[in-house]
Structure 1
Amino acid sequence: MRILHTSDWHVGKVLKGRNRLDEHIKVLAQVVEIAKAERPDLVIVAGDLYDTAAPTADATRVVTRALSALRRTGAIVVAIGGNHDNGPALDALRPWADAAGIELRGSVRENPDELLIRGQTEAGERWQLVALPFLSQRYAIRAAEMYDLSAAEANQTYADHIARLIAKLSEKFAEPGVLNLLTAHLTIVGATAGGGEREAHTIMGYAVPATVFPPNCHYVALGHLHRSQSVISPCPTRYSGSPLAVDFGEEENVPSVAIVDVGTDKAARVRDVPIPSARPLRTVRGTLEQLATVNLPDAWLRVLVRETPRVGLREDVQEMLPNALEVRIDPEMLPNKAGERMAQRAGRSPRQLFGDYLDNRGNAEDGVRELFDELYDEVSSDS
């Protein structure tokens, strides 16, 4: 069986005020061309189809047309919601998706059986796929309660909830002669962040160990981290990465999709197919004289200027480099006041430091300093 694994499209992304819809159209058109050439049996889009929970009509049009075009290649298409997506809104598109032959799962709903998708290739190979959309900590307990967990179990960590959900959803993986697959939008402990993910959803509170995946799974297709990479796991597990660099934190990533060949008696073999359609993102730095030698006409630029700040400097750089989306003084040119601030704080009492804070904030309200003194005295006496 052959799988095309992609994720993190982030359609609708605006970079430093620049709309990138044309780039997304080109990128997704190339993904479709790869599907036509590779002829996968299954296409998995592992979350974050959109960059925002309220996508524009244009962004919705691009995503739905891309999914439809992938379906017309003859592959079964499965797409799940990510943390940037509006899961219930994706679920509201289910009637359209069902009519188009697309398996769309936006959120974890009351019927967990909907998250297990079954199919068969033209060659007769049977497969089953657990499709787990992004689940925030806020809703993890609510989702876990569907499986009649005890109160003690419901108080377990987010990772425990995810592990229990996956274990419940993959119970049928014991069936012989069936290819077992799983897709999810998760941060895995030990994986390398791609630089552009929303930090609030990639912190350790949202990270889960790879041991949540069942060892009898033949391939796990992950989304969320934008750098393509394999993950050490009880079963073959991989992030496909994003098909374009979402922001300048990802400029070193190689946009790609993953092509996976796997069978019940054949270990998963993965190869990345690059997606060069989107304009690259590059950071350049130097004096005006040095920047005048930069020759990157096809890239969006972040420019760090090694010049003394002055009026009109930004305009001079943008005239020289029209593709500069961000222009600022190189941080190395700015004075480092951290040591000075530490010296100013040295030897000063908490009362004095708090007084300095109030002065800097312009807070002259009566009683604030006295209240701090009372609280400080109370805490100090307790210790």
Structure 2
Amino acid sequence: MRILHTSDWHVGRTFHGHSTTEALESVLDALVAIVRERSVDVVIVAGDVFDSTMPASDHYGVLERTLSRLRGAGTVVIVTSGNHDSATRLGFQSEFARLADVHVITRPEQHDVPVTLEDEHGPVHVYGIPYLEPSLVRHRYPDVALKRHSDVLGFVMDRIRSDLAERGGRSVVVSHCFATGAAGSDVERDITAGGLDYVPLATFDGPDYVALGHIHGRAALSDRVRYSGAPLHYSFSEADKPRGAWLVELDASGLSTVEWVDLPIPRRLVRLTGPIEELLLSPDYTEFEDAWLAVVLTDDVRPLDAMPRLQRRFRWCALLEHRPATVHDDGVVSYAARIEQKSDVEIVAGFLEHVRNGRGPTNAEAELVGDAFAAVAAREATR
């Protein structure tokens, strides 16, 4: 069986104020072409299909057209919800979609009920785990301590392994999480509350392949546990990361091969540094006139109207920073710089230390803060 593992489509996301819808649909068309050319049996989308819990009508159109093209190419489609998705909206009419072999898995109770497919070697059970925020599922299992995302995934993976032991056969698990060992990017910082999203790699022991989503760069945590990353670049921090999907092949005994398949990059991302006059006039930068640009200006004095001037030459200049080559060091570090690499929980802890003359939060207070951020994220996910 041949499986194409993708994730994090983020239909509807903007890039520094610019729509990415048209570019994303062109990349998804290329994905459909790969499905045809490589005779893919199953396409997996491991969460974050949409970027918002309230997608616009044209964003639904992108998803509808892509799913139709994938089915027209002869593949089964299995989709799970991510933390950016509204499980209710994504899962609307999923029962009808299932009749067309498009399996949209968004309800918590579906985690240990596999989509079972057949090939010449027998059954392959695909377990889709929707994004399970602890505060939304712990009431279902009152006898189990489900405080963190790692607790929830450990619990559901035990149930999956028990179900698989009864069924027998090969298996694939789909999950949207931040597994230990994965390198993050700045586009996901806003939905990490403390350590709630970190899940030990050993949690996923057992299945023949684990298709992960949530991290926007490809990563192989082991031979059988991988992130595919997003199909588009959604941040300049991802500029050097390839875009594509994992082509996974299962044989009679389980995982056989895993191959990376590149997807096209509609517009490359480039960082340029220098004084504004050099960037505007030098022919050395002609090749970047059609690229997305993040520009760092090194002029000693901030140039007037820098962005519109740059955009007259570089239409797709999206990000501008002034970092003078000569800087007077007054020893003062800005608040933004101090918190740049801190999580939301760490920022709150730092505030408490400040107002309490150096005494940070107690363990109980830290847990309450973490739960509060998790609850906020959970409410956003259900809108």
TM bucket (normalised to shorter chain) is 0.7 to 0.9
Question: Which residue, 173, 180, 200 being the options, matches 2:191?
Answer: 200
How many residues are aligned here?
Answer: 333
2:174 is matched with 183
Question: Which residue, 109, 115, 118 being the options, matches 2:116?
Answer: 118
Within 2, Cα distance between the matches of 1:138 and 1:335? 49
Q: Is the 8 A contact 1:317 1:327 kept in 2?
A: no
- Aligned alpha-carbon RMSD (Å): 2.5
Within 1, Cα distance between the matches of 2:315 and 2:129? 43
Q: Is the 8 A contact 1:225 1:241 kept in 2?
A: yes
After superposition, the Cα gap between the structure-2 partners of 1:187 and 1:340, relative to the gap in structure 1 and judged at 3 Å, is closer
TM-score, normalised by the number of residues in structure 2: 0.80
Deviation at residue 330 of structure 1 after TM alignment: 2.7
Question: Which residue, 117, 139, 157 being the options, matches 1:142?
Answer: 139
Q: Is the 8 A contact 2:8 2:49 kept in 1?
A: yes
Deviation at residue 267 of structure 1 after TM alignment: 3.3
Residue identity (%): 27
Question: Which residue, 231, 251, 256 being the options, matches 2:221?
Answer: 231
Q: Is the 8 A contact 1:30 1:275 kept in 2?
A: yes
Deviation at residue 124 of structure 1 after TM alignment: 5.2
After superposition, the Cα gap between the structure-2 partners of 1:241 and 1:288, relative to the gap in structure 1 and judged at 3 Å, is same
**Structure index of larger Rg:** 1
After superposition, the Cα gap between the structure-2 partners of 1:103 and 1:330, relative to the gap in structure 1 and judged at 3 Å, is same
Any stretches of 5+ residues in structure 2 without a counterpart?
336-354, 358-383
Deviations 1:235-257 (CA, angstroms, capped at 9, x unpaired): 71110111111121211110111
Within 1, Cα distance between the matches of 2:93 and 2:290? 36
Deviations 1:344-375 (CA, angstroms, capped at 9, x unpaired): xxxxxxxxxxxxxxxxxxxxxxxxxxxx9xx9
2:294 is matched with 302
Q: Is the 8 A contact 1:159 1:207 kept in 2?
A: yes
After superposition, residues 203-282 of structure 1 pair within 5 angstroms as: 203-215=194-206, 217-232=207-222, 236-282=224-270
Deviations 1:149-175 (CA, angstroms, capped at 9, x unpaired): 52xx32554312210112113322225
Within 1, Cα distance between the matches of 2:326 and 2:256? 50
**Paired letter, 1:127:** V
Any stretches of 5+ residues in structure 1 without a counterpart?
343-371, 377-383
Within 2, Cα distance between the matches of 1:174 and 1:291? 63
Question: Which residue, 270, 287, 290 being the options, matches 2:275?
Answer: 287
After superposition, the Cα gap between the structure-2 partners of 1:133 and 1:331, relative to the gap in structure 1 and judged at 3 Å, is farther
Deviation at residue 221 of structure 1 after TM alignment: 0.5
1:48 aligns with 2:48: yes
SS at match of 2:126: strand
1:350 is matched with none
**Paired letter, 2:65:** R
**Paired letter, 2:226:** R
Q: Is the 8 A contact 1:140 1:158 kept in 2?
A: no
Q: Is the 8 A contact 2:185 2:237 kept in 1?
A: yes
SS at match of 1:97: helix
Deviation at residue 140 of structure 1 after TM alignment: 4.0
**Paired letter, 1:118:** T
The structure whose RCO (Cα within 8 Å, separation 6+) is larger is: 2
1:353 is matched with none
After superposition, the Cα gap between the structure-2 partners of 1:337 and 1:65, relative to the gap in structure 1 and judged at 3 Å, is farther
Deviations 1:274-329 (CA, angstroms, capped at 9, x unpaired): 11242122221111243233221332111111122132222222222221012231
